[in-house]
Homo-oligomer: A and B are copies of this chain.
Amino acid sequence: MSGDLKPWTVLERRTLLDAGPFLKVHAETVETPEGRRVENFYQVEQTDFVQMFVEDADGRVLMLRTYKHGPRRVSQTFPAGALNPGEEPLAAAKRELLEETGYAAEDWTALGSYVVQGNQRGCVCHMFHARNARKVAEADSGDLEEMRLELLTRAELIAAAAEGDYALLPVIAMLGAVLLPDLRDNLARSAARPAP
C-alpha cells in the first residue's frame, strides 16, 4: 500500500517528561527520506485505550453520559477505558464493559486500531463491536466521573448528533465505523488479518 513512500529515521530521542504510565513526552531528531533533518519533533505517549459499540439483544446501544475533563463538558460516550499494562485490547474491552455498565457480551468483532494524532501520536484507540450483551452485575467502574447508562436505538444515536451531545472525536469515529455497514465490514476484515 505504501508504494515508495518511505518512513522517517529517528536519529535521537530524548525524554522531556516522564509522568509514569499515563504520559511521557519525547523530543526526537528525525531525518526524512529526502535527507532533511528536523530537531525537536515531539512525540506524546499516552495510555492506549479501548472503545466499544455494544448492543443488547434488542439492538439497543449502551451509551454513557458523563462529564469529560478533556473538553470540559458533559458528553455522550461509548463505553471505553485505558489498557492496563500488558493487557490485550479485547480483554480490556470486556473488563471495562463490565466495570462501567455491568454488562457482558459473547459476540465481539475487532474494528481495528487507530492513532489519535497523526504527528505526535498520543495513543492508540482499539475499536470493538459487541452484540447480544446482557446485564450480569452492577456497574462499578471506580472511574472519577459519575456515569449514566442510557440504551439508545441507532436512530437515537444519530439524532443525538443534532443536539451537540458528542464532544469527543473517538465517539464520532465509532458512529461511522459501525453504522456504515460496508465500512464496518471492511474495517473488521482488515483488523482480522495478521499484521504483515
Q: Hey, which bits of chain A sit against chain B, CB under 8 A?
A: 1-3, 5-8, 16-17, 19, 22-23, 25, 27, 30, 32-34, 36, 38, 40-44, 46, 65-75, 77, 80, 112, 114-123, 125, 127, 144-146, 148, 158-159, 161-173, 175-177, 179-180, 182-183, 185-187, 189-190, 193
Number of copies of this kind of chain in the complex = 2
Quick one: given A7-B73, A74-B2, A182-B158, are A120 and B172 in contact (CB under 8 Å)? no
Hey, which chain B residues are within 8 Å of A43, CB to CB?
69-70
Partner pick for A173 among B70, B119, B169, CB 8 A cutoff: B169
Partner pick for A41 among B17, B30, B69, B182, CB 8 A cutoff: B69
Quick one: given A5-B148, A146-B5, A183-B161, are A70 and B115 in contact (CB under 8 Å)? yes
Task: Tell me how far the C-beta of A159 lies from the nearest C-beta in chain B, rounded to whole angstroms.
Answer: 7
Complex alpha-carbon distance, A176 and B177, angstroms: 7
Quick one: given A16-B17, A169-B169, are A25 and B22 in contact (CB under 8 Å)? no
- Mostly, the A contact residues are mixed
Quick one: given A7-B67, A114-B168, A146-B33, are A122 and B121 in contact (CB under 8 Å)? no
Hey, which chain B residues are within 8 Å of A68, CB to CB?
115, 118-119
The chain B residue with its CB closest to the CB of A191 is B164
Quick one: given A125-B169, A163-B190, are A116 and B114 in contact (CB under 8 Å)? no
Partner pick for A71 among B17, B32, B38, B115, CB 8 A cutoff: B115
A23 touches B2 (CB 8 A): no
Quick one: given A1-B74, A69-B41, are A122 and B118 in contact (CB under 8 Å)? no
Quick one: given A69-B8, A183-B161, are A169 and B1 in contact (CB under 8 Å)? no
A sample of 9 inter-chain contacts (CB < 8 A) reads: A2-B67, A5-B65, A16-B19, A19-B42, A30-B69, A32-B144, A114-B168, A118-B170, A169-B169
